[in-house]
Structure 1
Amino acid sequence: MKLQLSLYARKLPNVAGAFKGTSDPFAVVTKIVVEGGGQPKVLGKTEVIKNTLNPDWVKTFTFDYELGTPVKCAVQIFDEVRKGDNKSMGSAVFEIGELLGAKGNTKAKKMKKSGTIFARVEKYRGQGTLRLGMKGVKLKNREGFMKKSDPFFELLRKVNGPSGTMWDAVYRSKHVPNNLSPVWGEATIDLGVLCNGDQSQPILVRVYDHEGDGKHDLMGEFETSVDGLVRAKGGRALIIKRKGKDSGQIFVTRADVAGVENLTERAAAMSVSGGSNAPSTANAPSAAAAFVPGAVAGAAAATGAAAATGAFVPSSVPPSAPTAFVPGAVAGAAATGAYAHSSAPPPVASGKPTFFDYVSGGCQLNLSIAIDFTGSNGDPRRPGTLHYMNPDGSLNDYEKAITAVEGILSKYDYDQKYPVYGFGAKYGGVVRHCFQVGPSSEVDGINGIIQAYRGVFRTGLIMSGPTVFEEVIHTVAARAHSAQESAKQKGEQAYSILLILTDGAVTDVHRTAATINQVSNAPLSIVIIGVGNADFSAMQFLDDAHQPGSHDIAQFVQFNRHSHNSQSLTAATLDEIPDQLTGFFTRHGIMPLAAKRMAEEEIPVGVEEEVDLSLDFGSDGEIAVGSGGYYAPSARW
């Protein structure tokens, strides 16, 4: 997907020097890369804003992004010095995945000296360009006696804010000195930036009197659209108003749209709530049981099945529904339910919602993890076996895979609480194909996952076999359906991902494929990572075995093919999830929720991340990376 990055800053340090006024800040954005992962690249610089420590830059930066491939951008702010070297005002690094997963797709970083940089990402909707020329006539003077205003104009687009709609500046012209009938230079403006490609979308034109101290005086404004500007070309005047009174006229001398095929046809956006097209809960599966090590027998009768087992039991599931198996808990938690296909008709919607649209609207990604504890993994006390816990704290391959995938998906999960399951081990002489790993039904963050995994070997577990996924798949499919239903009741959206880690092929690949097809209408993606050196050729069958009428929700990846690089693993592992997520929601007529802009005081402020990066400013205006621009991959890999 293609994204665009916008920036602003607050309370920057004034580095202009004594008796030299206020700094003139601009920002340079550089895409930095992991060591050995290519060359860092300068994406560009913002415009310079004179005499301010609180700049709102209108320049945006576009780049490509894929889920699973970390992208970091360094933002360096400078005070422009016309005769000499630009002065650094501070810097910060933003991880694009974190911006995507943040509320409002916005985050802030406090810089070391002082000041805060705010960064926001949006989907870039390349829909052609607008070539615009305008002039003012008899604008009302905002200066005093014997002086005339220095007019410039801004174009603002409408966005959703925390308290409703708000206007966001996306273009700013140069000012025309001492002139009440200014003719501004023609500009070429990206329609994706100006109006998300929708030429009927409202835009605001504001005219200001330029002031040297940066506190520009509003001369007047009017609301229109790209279509409105095109219709006004060469014709009637557009009246600007200030405080409800006429304050001048604007004439459109040029308004030409290029790069759009059907200029006169506009697709009507259809608003679809979950409504009658949402998946029905009537045939949803009962939550299958995951055995919970260490649970007290008989606790279910006292506190309820969910409390006794730590298993997730959605409110729509009757109390008798099987729950996650807990060693020592009441027996009889082995049954699984079928996840029925929804009978909802396919949606009729215009446009093609994307993964970005859903996560921007707040769709939460819920990760569940299932780990293979069959005997073929080897004795975990012996070095070289797959579950071996190295005394030096280094990660085994199971832990590496979990850490890499969680590191990406955690950015889209606000609470970062994860259910962890195991399969293929005996408790009390009975082979359990779905048991709870850890002391509770959900653990906190990556540290909670690793601690739960390492602690399971102290619960009386006996590694056994065979390798069976079906019970885990049914359990998580039921959980996924319940999570989305619960989210819908709150006006939200949720999608689940099951990460299965195994050291070998499943015992019955055809039965497993049938189970995946059976749950393929759930809001769920299944990612299977093969760990170790076994023959995984049969596992590829699961990736390709969806039947007519079902949907492809499974992906198989062999760890050893990507063990050299965590980014390679996550890119391969998460490659299909965006299309699977959008496929589920659009099949059921569930459109993305509206993205909302956060109020400035609500945006979480992080700490500056050090980056070794120096830039060379050429005399021709070009900026290049002088040195640095790399970051080290996670030390835990």
Structure 2
Amino acid sequence: MAYIPGGGAPAVGAAPMGSQYCVCKVELSVSGQNLLDRDVTSKSDPFCVLFTENNGRWIEYDRTETAINNLNPAFSKKFVLDYHFEEVQKLKFALFDQDKSSTQLDEHDFLGQFSCSLGTIVSSKKITRPLLLMNDKPAGKGLITIAAQELSDNRVITLSLAGRKLDKKDLFGKSDPFLEFYKPGHDGKWMLVHRTEVIKYTLDPVWKPFTVPLVSLCDGDMEKSIQVMCYDYDNDGGHDFIGEFQTSVSQMCEARNGVPLEFECINPKKQRKKKNYKNSGIIILRSCKINRDYSFLDYILGGCQLMFTVSHEFAINFNPTNPFCSGVDGIAQAYSACLPHIRFYGPTNFSPIVNHVARFAAQATQQQTATQYFILLIITDGVISDMEETRHAVVQASKLPMSIIIVGVGNADFAAMEFLDGDSRTLRSHTGEEAARDIVQFVPFREFCNAAKETLAKAVLAELPQQVVQYFKHKNLPPTSSEPA
């Protein structure tokens, strides 16, 4: 049972647990073919945005990377969603040609879109459909292909790679190498799984470690072939091929015990032409680790308690020596009892209550276990009076097992609240220090006045599960009761 330091919180709807409420994670891979060319001197630079429908409105869910100068992109970024069998989950895939660094979609050229339900994709496993313009006319000969894979296996694999003496491909420099990982698809063709970052001006690159679901890399089959391609990056999208090799997860696992594994990077054309050809460089697998990718539910079932506080900084049960309420019923009772005895006042200072809850969260970190996570719920009708202090407090709190939910009530200007919500930018304190992660969720109540209470509850709690999981993963803390990978 969760205990609530500092008082109560509004009751929220929760779906009952049971086999009829079956949820699984689905990974969607997206590629495009014959996209419209919106650039004058080169080809389009497409990226894909996924929208989900909520109450008749399309809300951006996530977006892929940008494919430079490419009308037939295969995006390495995957969309991962919870698939609810009992719901019709409407999706819209929209492609844009990136023209500026802006995150505003109306500043990029539209290339076409396609809408369907998640169930349609899951049942077909892979679909290819024409892209449409806003007027529902064809977007030229543009097509979109979407492949679905269930992520029932929660193991993830983390790989750390480097290169040595790769071929020089640039005329006036060295190379700008990157790697691409492929697995065999259901149609027998190689399917892109992951693309590393580009390392500039070197023949001896060291790539950042990356983590992908094991089922994405090899369908959970440790013996399945994996093809690794090495390229030299070019700004115009015409990347130069350096070499390739094949391996498997079982082979890569030999690098788990601190002993690197080396693969010869082979260019078949060079190999056929040159008698003394050895290789086009060496790819070094420095480490390979397989772990479990725990979900929010894993942590809750593992014994993690969610500790809610409500602003402002007083014990809502009027018992400062024991400011705890037991469960949702205790919250509601304390809230109802206190309302007749309080009055609202200003100014609206957020930093004291943020720091107050942060002290609870800091104490919990001493246990080094995934047993407690703190959520501060702030209901406000005004702007923030201590913005600099609040920014600093939120940045410091981002290092702790803590989230902040702000519900704005009324018609005030809530721009400051939206600024704290780091969905589109990284929050910084007045000293320039970046937040370790996004922990603030802002919800304007006026947008939900005529909606069902479940809709408001869903919006208020939308980011909480991923924030909880993100913190415990960063600290390498598994659920208190879990099995090894």
* TM-score, normalising length: structure 2: 0.49
Asked which structure has the greater CA Rg, the reply is 1
